[in-house]
């Protein structure tokens, strides 16, 4: 529970801190000391392994995620176009084979705006809450959200421009997302309108795919332009309350990414590819409090860190079913 509380605070914007020695297990302390004493030979070997792996790994989890995002969103499109009523509505609120489903953040915004709890909305809220509690909270972001896919492609362009020194990446305080979360909640309660839903790129893209494009897509284009030329993944990292809502759910989910410190080279490739690199603070040399540590609730379970790790130190783990390594 202590680690969960700490990880939630980090998700809300607290700067990750070095683990105090008294909070590191004896096994982890012994491992950290062995690695400290290993010298430069292991470092050279580790760099060589990482260079080779960067060129050869197949990005299997990324391929699976992209398929998942395209499949789910196109299922909305074809269900509506063919009028087969399998998946009705959009990502914000829908029915799957007659079962009500409601995006958690959208449902909270509606409840605050209208100051009432509709039974169908409550059913949809509970259904989705249980589903993402099981699947890992922010898994929604990387496996379902259509904006995440576009933002990921924009990120690729951004990184290339930074490498060529055409632009610089600009960072913001991560606490901004928490303040935006509060702001959108206050606006919904005070105005009676779900203001965030009108500017949410997730909802805009979902509705545009199903019902046709609107002028609101210009807002999405603006966000992508900012992310390409100014700040990497700015919307998801610093603004979007959807990720924060699902992050709270993910804190108590049995589905986590588990980090095993034994074979880790601490080269940092995982943190370079991660959308939320602060969840991988345990991979910094000497930081892990245990030999096995679960990543924090802000983790999107995208699998990119698993794809890029040559030592198999990061893996998906379902508590109670998967064995610790």
Q: Find the length of the chain.
A: 325
DSSP 151-183: HHHHHHHHHHHHHTTSS------THHHHHHHHH
Residue with the two structure tokens 């992209």: 66
Q: What is the pLDDT of residue 268?
A: 87
* C-alpha atoms less than 13 angstroms from C-alpha of 98 in its C-beta half-sphere: 0
Q: What's the pLDDT band for 199 if we cut at 50, 70, 90? A: very high
Q: What is the pLDDT of residue 40?
A: 54
Q: What is the pLDDT of residue 44?
A: 64
- Asked whether the predicted pLDDT for residue 106 surpasses 70, the reply is yes
* C-alpha atoms less than 13 angstroms from C-alpha of 51 in its C-beta half-sphere: 6
Q: What's the pLDDT band for 17 if we cut at 50, 70, 90? A: confident
Return the domain boundaries, the chain. 2-44+254-318, 62-248
The dotted CATH code for 2-44+254-318 is 3.30.70
Distance from C-alpha of 54 to C-alpha of 143, rounded to nearest angstrom: 23
Distance from C-alpha of 30 to C-alpha of 116, rounded to nearest angstrom: 55
* 224 φ, ψ (degrees, to nearest 5): -65, -35
């Amino acid at each position: 529970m202590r680690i969960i509380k700490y990880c939630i605070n980090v998700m809300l914007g607290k700067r990750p801190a070095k683990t105090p020695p008294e909070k590191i297990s004896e096994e982890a302390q012994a491992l950290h000391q062995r690695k400290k004493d290993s010298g430069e030979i292991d470092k050279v070997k580790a760099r060589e392994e990482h260079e080779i792996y960067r060129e050869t790994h197949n990005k299997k989890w990324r391929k699976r995620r992209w398929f998942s995002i395209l499949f789910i969103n196109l299922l909305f499109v074809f269900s509506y176009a063919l009028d087969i009523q399998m998946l009705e509505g959009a990502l914000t609120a829908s029915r799957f084979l007659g079962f009500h489903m409601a995006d958690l953040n959208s449902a909270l915004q509606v409840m605050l705006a209208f100051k009432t709890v509709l039974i169908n909305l409550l059913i949809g809220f509970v259904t989705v809450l249980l589903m993402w509690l099981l699947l890992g909270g922010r898994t929604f972001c990387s496996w379902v959200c259509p904006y995440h896919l576009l933002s990921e492609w924009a990120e690729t362009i951004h990184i290339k421009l930074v490498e060529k020194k055409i632009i610089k990446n600009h960072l913001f305080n991560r606490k901004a997302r928490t303040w935006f979360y509060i702001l959108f909640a206050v606006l919904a309660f005070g105005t009676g309108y779900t203001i965030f839903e009108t500017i949410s790129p997730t909802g805009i893209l979902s509705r545009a795919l199903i019902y046709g494009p609107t002028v609101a897509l210009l807002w999405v284009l603006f966000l992508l332009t900012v992310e390409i030329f100014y700040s990497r993944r700015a919307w998801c990292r610093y603004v979007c309350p959807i990720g924060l809502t699902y992050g709270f759910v993910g804190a108590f989910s049995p589905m986590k990414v588990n980090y095993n410190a034994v074979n880790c080279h601490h080269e940092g490739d995982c943190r370079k590819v991660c959308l939320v690199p602060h969840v991988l603070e345990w991979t910094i040399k000497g930081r892990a409090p245990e030999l096995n540590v679960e990543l924090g609730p802000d983790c999107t379970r995208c699998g990119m860190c698993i794809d890029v790790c040559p030592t198999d130190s990061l893996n998906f783990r379902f508590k109670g079913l998967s064995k610790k390594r």
